[in-house]
Every structure is written in structure tokens, then in C-alpha cells.
Chain A
């Protein structure tokens, strides 16, 4: 027998409902907290959703935010935010900052003169400064992007709901989708809490979470369906525990491989894509958790009709309970 790395013991027999109050209840509480964080602190929307301009600067000199601000102060641009960007992939001579200018009051994105003025003002600090990216989105488009994103999340959830309904029972569909929303909303809550920039790629990340999390949940459901056929007399709760225990090793394996891959992308993939990878990373952790602790609890709450569908057809005791 060769040695094998095991994430879960060969045979587990956990009662995943034992601490239901803590696990499921905690999840619900976290979800509420996520909503609170979202409502109170708001999301740090990027220009995709708020409109405005971002300019990425690169210079051999260290970034002096105060000097940048002073240089830009004289320009009639309104609200300006300057942040220095740190990244392990940068070389020693690579000092990067992001300058964000609030949307100017019009439908148009930005005039070339405004960008030229900003670039000229910054070059007074370092004549060799370069501007690797300049992006600007008009307020008209950003409003539409917000709605488009909400629609995308809703549409995906609905499509998934319909699919599970078709393949399983409606209780599974409901449980699966609620688990999905749990993952998505807590991730949004984390973005609100830490005020991480929330832009279009984050929405793509959230949609990926939808896909990943449902993938995980469906595998558990699939085993549950199989075991329900196999152990017709066992209480639903025990069948669920058995199913989760049987798939536990796979659930952990897949989560860990995915986390390894996304984690390396998050660390080594550069700062442009870090937020996106972070959202997927969080989503994978939450998705794994929710397929073990959230989705099936909801199915258990609703209850399942475990009677065979065509059972009343011509069974001998069909009329046994009729009092003549």
C-alpha cells in the first residue's frame, strides 16, 4: 500500500446537523451582516459602475501621493483619488499609482484635453512618467452596466434553478439556489466591508462563483438522490449525513485544487486581476461550506416527498382505508 495524501479520513461519519444552530444559523447571520455592511458602507464601485476616469501611472521614482495631488489640484476636475499600487510582480524601478477622477457632468466619457492636462501636470513631477492605461466610462453607460450585472446574476440563478428543478426535485432547486445566493451575498458583503474596488470583472467573478458553488452542491445532491433510492427507510436526515460523508473527500479535493489554482493566480497574476481572483477565491471557500452546511439544510426544512410517484396505481390496499 502506497502512501496517499488524504484530506478526509477514509471513512467519516460526521453528523453535519449536530451544530445546525451554529453552522446554518451562523450562515444566515453572516448573510444578514453582509447585507448590513453592503447597506451601511456601500460598495467601492469602480468607474465601470460609477463613471469617471482612471489613469495608471508608472514611474522610476517612488510614488509621492501628496505631490501628485498637489500637481493635480489646480486642474478643474473635481474629486480625485490617488492610490499607490503594490505588487510582488513589480520590478524595483516600477512604481505604480492609480489616479481616479470622478465623472465629469455630461454623458461623454472625458475629453482628450482633460487627459492631456492631467498627464502634463504629472510629468512636471517625473518627466519620464508613463501612463500604461487610461480608462474612462461615461455616467450613461455605467448606469446600464449596473442593471446589466444585476440582471446577469438574476438570470443565472434562475437558469440554474430551472435546471436543478428539471433534474431533481423543486426542494433541491430551492436549496441549491439559496445556497448560491448565500455565497454571492457574503462575498459582496466582504467587498463592502474591506472596501475593495468593485467593477465589472468582480461581477464576472460572482457569476463564476454561481457556477462553481452549484457544481459543488449538485454533486452532493446527486449522491443524495442515489442514496434516497437505496435506503428507502432511513430518515432523511441520516441519508443526508451519509451522502455528505461519502462525498466529503471529493468536495475537499476539488476545493483544494481550485483554491491552489486561483490562489496562485491571485498571488502571481498581477494587480490588474487580483480583485477578480479574490472574489473567486472567497466564493470557492463559501461554496464548499454552503454545499455542506446550507443547501441540504434548506431541503431538510422544506421536507421531501419520498413516496414513490406511481404508488397508488392498483396496489392491493388501495381501498383499505375506506369505511364501507
Chain B
């Protein structure tokens, strides 16, 4: 009786030992963290500096080095939820369609008459008024000829644009599946660019995730504030080089066809009227970095690709003595006069930059422009001190809770209570071991989840002990009572814990951020506490019973 097969015992203790080994690195948190950071840096750079080597040596690399990630609320950092304005891209697409539509309608001018673009309220629409309503059929046919079919799973047989008529107005709109494709592409590009920008800024373990249809969640630990993060990723960074038409002191009311009036970034009240179509744009840049001009002022050095270099070279050769504007996000950084032909495709941008601004602009330019602007729906900054306070408070609470529960259990169940407390300690270690190996993030509610588990973990043990007590009352032999106790308590333990597991799964799927951390620790804690109660505590009880062979057992 009361004998678990050897293989099973080995498996149980091996699982516990594995949990302990995996949890161990967390005891040397800062040392292991330094080791991991250094290892990552060394791998990226290909060589190790003296400090990095020292950090590497501080923790033997053959030991497991997985540690629990600390969430933003514990480490401090910034959290942003951004909504990508996909409508921006729709508008750009429709603007791109206009010349083609105009040309197509010009060919059927005999039927259609004069055409005029009208303002549209929906950015995904292009509205064109035609002179002769009778020629509408011809106009629709002509524009329809421009459409091309979409190749996608859902949009079979659909074109990228739909053409409809409404009185004298011809409406060209992006089709549903084309919109979906544009959305998908825009979000994907935005994600990539944000990732590049955040990575270049050199922060650790940022989280950049798509959320829902058009949202992006960005969490960067260790950054000073959400405003700082916003400055880095919220700028569209659309850079263009446009020919300057004239310079003025107020906004140009009539810039003329194909021109726009833009304010100067640094000079108050100065406006430039520039040609809307740029000579070259930021997309033609291959590289940009922070630099200094010949006077030692901060500047951004850039390099064009082959196409950009040719276009820029040709333009400068033809327009010596004329000014051109360097435009960033609708503002003119500077408008230098072309001194000579610039053939090499490289140059520097000077403005009233500080060194930081120049470096940031360089990062933004080399990462590329965002395809659409973003609005920020949610932003949170948590200072590192507050996070540390929370960790300290959590530790204190966990220790006090653990001690109080232990005393209570031992007072209630004597030796069996001691077994329960020992397996509770192993349980805690296993939770940390699992959290470390799956790379889960520990948040403040997550710590609360662990403390809650301290209370709930003993439940499975309590169920068994109470059951053993009852069976002992029914005058069973101790060994038999223990065995039946475990057997009969099983269904209650399984049902009770499965329902809690269900709730934690719902919490995980529905919850965001910190709440998710709570769900993870709760779910892991439930699994480990059932394991420790059913197997580990039982092993202890059986071993004790095997050694002592007591005639009577008092639980």
C-alpha cells in the first residue's frame, strides 16, 4: 500500500528540481539581467568590451538564464496605444488616381465635356463633375477601364476601384477589398517603421503589437516619459525636397496651380510657396546620421540611393542659383540656394537643431516615413521609483502572507501542515520557474495573483487533509485513510480548479496589459498548486509514512 512506482516518484521529483533550477536565476536578478543584456549586445556587435565581458562572466552561461520579465508598472517606462489614420492613405491613393482619371476622361471629351474635381467628404472617394450628364455612360466606361482586378482570397472578381454615377457627378471609390488590403499594408508598414525607430533609439525589450483593426500598442520599458516616446514615433517624418517658387511673410492665399504654401520651421512668420511635386523625397534616402556642418553646428548628413542621386544631380545642375526647400512634415526646415551641381547624391541638412534633435531626425529619416499619421488613444508613464516601490511592497506582502499562511496551516494540521507548507514553497519556486521559461511578464496585479495563489494553493491540500480526517473517523487504517483521502478529494479538486482556470483563461483573452499578467500567474499557479498538492505533498506523506510506520495518524 501507499507506494508510488519508482518511475513516477523520479518524474515528480525531477519536475520539482527542474522548477527550482529554472527559478534560481531570479534570485540573482540584476546579475543575470546584466549577463543577458551583454550576451545580446555581444552577439549583435560581434565582439565584447571589457565591461560586457565582466557582465558575461558574472553568470555562468551553462546555467539557465531565463528570468521573469518585469512589466512596465514594475520597471517603469512608457505605454502608448496609437490609432493609425488609414484614411490618410486613402486620400493619398485618390489623389494619385486623379491625374489618371482626368486623362481618361479627356479622351472621351466629345461626350463628357469639361471635368472638374470636387471635394469629397469620404477620403476614399474621388468626385468628378462632368459637363454633359448625357455622356455619363461613356465616362463611367472610360474610368472603369482603368480599374484592375484584385488578387486576394476574399476579393475574387472584385476590382480595386468602383465607379458609380450620381447625377452629373462621377464617383470613383476604393472597393471594400482594396480598402482592407490598404489597411493591412499600412498597419504592417507602420509596425515595421515604429519597430525600427524604437530599436534605433536603443531601449530594451520593447513591445510593439498590432491591436484590433487599426491600432498599435507600444510599450517601452526604461524610457523617461510617454511624451518622449511620442516624439520618437509620432512624427510622420515625411521629408521632401521641393523647388521654391517664392518666399513671403504670410500664408500665400493663391499659391497657383500645383503649388502649396508652407510655413518655416524656425523663422517666425515666414512662408514659402513651393511646388507640390517634390524633386526627391525621403523614400530615396539610403542613410542618414547625426553630423556637424563646417561651422560645427549640429546637422543631419544623408545619402541618396541611385535614383534619388540622379534626380537630385540633374535638378541641381539645371537650377544653379535657385533656392530649394527641405520640407519635413509640412514645414520648411531650410531653403538653401543651390550653389553648384551636386552629383554624388549626398549632403547635409542644417537648421536650428540641437545635437539630440539632429540625431533624432536622422533616426526618423533612416527608418523611413510613416505611411499615415497616428493619434494616441491611451498613454501611460510609470516612473522607475514607483515600480521599485511596488516591487518592494509586493515582496513584503508575499513574505508576510507566506509566513502567516504557514503558521496557520501548521497550527491546523500539525505535521501534515508542515508538508503542505514545504510544498507551498516548492510551488512558489515552480511558478517563478515557469514564468521565467515562457518569458511571461510579471506585473503588479501579477504579484497580487501570486499572493492570492499562496492562499488558494493550500486549498487542494486542505481538501485532502479534511478528507483523510473524515476517513480516519470512519475507523480506517491510517494508510488506507490517506489513500482514500487522496482518491476521494480528487474530483472536488479537479472541478474547483478547472473552473478557476476557466476564469483565468477568459481574463487572459479579454484583459489588457497588467490584467493579463494577473491571469498568467493565476493560471500557472493553479496548475502548479494542483501538481504540488496531489503529487509533491503526497510524496512527502508517503515517505514519512514509509519511514515511521505509525500505528495511528493524527491529522
B511 near A222: Cβ-Cβ < 8 Å = no
Mark contacts of B452-496 with chain A using CB atoms, 8 A cut-off: 1 yes-contact digit, 0 otherwise.
Answer: 101110110011001001100000000000000000100110011
A99 contacts partner chain B, Cβ-Cβ < 8 Å = no
CA distance A277 to B393 in the complex (A): 13
B500 contacts partner chain A, Cβ-Cβ < 8 Å = yes
A148 near B510: Cβ-Cβ < 8 Å = yes
A156 near B459: Cβ-Cβ < 8 Å = no
B514 near A260: Cβ-Cβ < 8 Å = no
Residues of B within 8 A of A219 (CB): 463, 492, 495-496
A160 near B386: Cβ-Cβ < 8 Å = no
A295 contacts partner chain B, Cβ-Cβ < 8 Å = no
B511 near A133: Cβ-Cβ < 8 Å = no
A212 contacts partner chain B, Cβ-Cβ < 8 Å = yes
B452 near A155: Cβ-Cβ < 8 Å = no
Say which one of A22-30, A185-193, A247-255, A308-316 lies at the interface with B. A247-255
Given contacts A136-B378, A253-B462, whether A155 and B515 have CB atoms under 8 Å apart is no
| B-contacting residues, A207-246, CB 8 Å | 207-208, 210-212, 214-216, 218-219, 221-223, 226, 246
A109 near B379: Cβ-Cβ < 8 Å = yes
Residues of B within 8 A of A20 (CB): none
A259 contacts partner chain B, Cβ-Cβ < 8 Å = yes
Residues of B within 8 A of A262 (CB): 448, 451-452, 455
Mark contacts of B507-538 with chain A using CB atoms, 8 A cut-off: 1 yes-contact digit, 0 otherwise.
Answer: 10011101100110010000000000000000
Residues of B within 8 A of A256 (CB): 408
Given contacts A156-B506, A273-B445, whether A5 and B385 have CB atoms under 8 Å apart is no
Per DSSP, are chain A's interface residues mostly helix, strand or loop, or mixed? helix
CA distance A107 to B375 in the complex (A): 8
B499 contacts partner chain A, Cβ-Cβ < 8 Å = yes
B311 contacts partner chain A, Cβ-Cβ < 8 Å = no
Nearest-CB residue, chain A, relative to B384: A132
A71 contacts partner chain B, Cβ-Cβ < 8 Å = no
Residues of A within 8 A of B380 (CB): 133-136
A211 near B230: Cβ-Cβ < 8 Å = no
CA distance A207 to B383 in the complex (A): 28
| B-contacting residues, A266-289, CB 8 Å | 267-270, 272-273, 276-277, 280
Given contacts A261-B451, A265-B397, whether A214 and B499 have CB atoms under 8 Å apart is yes
Q: How far is the CB of B172 from chain A (nearest CB, A)?
A: 29
A138 near B445: Cβ-Cβ < 8 Å = no
Which one of B408, B491, B500 contacts A214 once the chains associate, using CB atoms below 8 Å? Answer: B500
A160 near B499: Cβ-Cβ < 8 Å = yes
Residues of A within 8 A of B504 (CB): 211
Q: How far is the CB of A2 from chain B (nearest CB, A)?
A: 5
Given contacts A1-B554, A265-B397, whether A218 and B496 have CB atoms under 8 Å apart is yes
A218 near B499: Cβ-Cβ < 8 Å = yes
Residues of B within 8 A of A76 (CB): none
Which one of A58, A89, A163, A254 contacts B456 once the chains associate, using CB atoms below 8 Å? Answer: A254
Given contacts A254-B458, A257-B455, whether A141 and B466 have CB atoms under 8 Å apart is no
Nearest-CB residue, chain B, relative to A225: B491
Of the four ranges (under 10, 10 to 19, 20 to 34, 35 or more), the interface on chain B belongs to 35 or more
Residues of A within 8 A of B382 (CB): 132-133, 135
CA distance A222 to B499 in the complex (A): 13
A246 near B470: Cβ-Cβ < 8 Å = yes
B377 near A257: Cβ-Cβ < 8 Å = no
B451 near A207: Cβ-Cβ < 8 Å = no
A44 contacts partner chain B, Cβ-Cβ < 8 Å = no
Mark contacts of A135-172 with chain B using CB atoms, 8 A cut-off: 1 yes-contact digit, 0 otherwise.
Answer: 11110110000001101100110011001100100000
Say which one of B41-49, B362-370, B399-407 lies at the interface with A. B399-407
Residues of A within 8 A of B134 (CB): none
Nearest-CB residue, chain B, relative to A253: B462
Which one of A135, A268, A273 contacts B444 once the chains associate, using CB atoms below 8 Å? Answer: A273
A215 near B515: Cβ-Cβ < 8 Å = no
B396 near A135: Cβ-Cβ < 8 Å = no
Nearest-CB residue, chain B, relative to A255: B455
A138 near B503: Cβ-Cβ < 8 Å = no
Nearest-CB residue, chain A, relative to B515: A204
Residues of A within 8 A of B398 (CB): 265
Residues of A within 8 A of B392 (CB): 89
Given contacts A1-B554, A132-B385, A218-B496, whether A257 and B405 have CB atoms under 8 Å apart is yes
B389 near A270: Cβ-Cβ < 8 Å = yes
B426 contacts partner chain A, Cβ-Cβ < 8 Å = no
CA distance A259 to B408 in the complex (A): 12
B452 near A258: Cβ-Cβ < 8 Å = yes
Say which one of B31-39, B150-158, B348-356, B411-419 lies at the interface with A. B411-419
Looking at B227, B379, B394, B522, which has the most chain A CB atoms within 10 Å of its CB?
B379
A56 contacts partner chain B, Cβ-Cβ < 8 Å = yes
Mark contacts of A102-116 with chain B using CB atoms, 8 A cut-off: 1 yes-contact digit, 0 otherwise.
Answer: 000001111010011
Which one of B225, B376, B404 contacts A108 once the chains associate, using CB atoms below 8 Å? Answer: B376
Looking at B81, B452, B503, which has the most chain A CB atoms within 10 Å of its CB?
B503
Which one of B379, B381, B390, B405 contacts A261 once the chains associate, using CB atoms below 8 Å? Answer: B405
A130 contacts partner chain B, Cβ-Cβ < 8 Å = yes
Q: How far is the CB of B547 from chain A (nearest CB, A)?
A: 19
Q: How far is the CB of A273 from chain B (nearest CB, A)?
A: 5
A306 contacts partner chain B, Cβ-Cβ < 8 Å = no
Residues of A within 8 A of B448 (CB): 262, 265, 269, 273, 276-277, 280
A201 near B405: Cβ-Cβ < 8 Å = no
Residues of B within 8 A of A167 (CB): 495
Residues of B within 8 A of A269 (CB): 393-394, 397, 447-448, 451
CA distance A164 to B498 in the complex (A): 10
Nearest-CB residue, chain A, relative to B460: A254
B434 contacts partner chain A, Cβ-Cβ < 8 Å = no
CA distance A226 to B484 in the complex (A): 14
CA distance A201 to B456 in the complex (A): 20
The contact sample of 24 A-B pairs, CB cut-off 8 A, is: A4-B413, A107-B377, A109-B377, A133-B380, A136-B379, A140-B377, A141-B378, A151-B510, A160-B502, A214-B499, A214-B503, A216-B496, A218-B496, A219-B492, A219-B496, A222-B492, A222-B496, A253-B458, A257-B405, A258-B455, A262-B448, A264-B397, A265-B401, A273-B445
Complex A-B, nearest 4 residue pairs according to Cβ-Cβ distance, in ascending order: A261-B455, A258-B455, A211-B503, A270-B393
Q: Which residues of A contact B (CB under 8 A)?
A: 1-2, 4-7, 56, 58, 89, 107-110, 112, 115-116, 130-138, 140-141, 148-149, 151-152, 155-156, 159-160, 163-164, 167, 200-201, 203-204, 207-208, 210-212, 214-216, 218-219, 221-223, 226, 246-247, 249-250, 253-254, 256-265, 267-270, 272-273, 276-277, 280
Q: A215-B499, A246-B470, A254-B462 are in contact. List 18 more A-B contacts (CB 8 A).
A: A109-B376, A132-B386, A133-B386, A134-B226, A134-B379, A138-B377, A159-B502, A160-B503, A201-B445, A203-B515, A207-B506, A250-B462, A253-B412, A254-B459, A259-B455, A269-B451, A270-B393, A272-B390
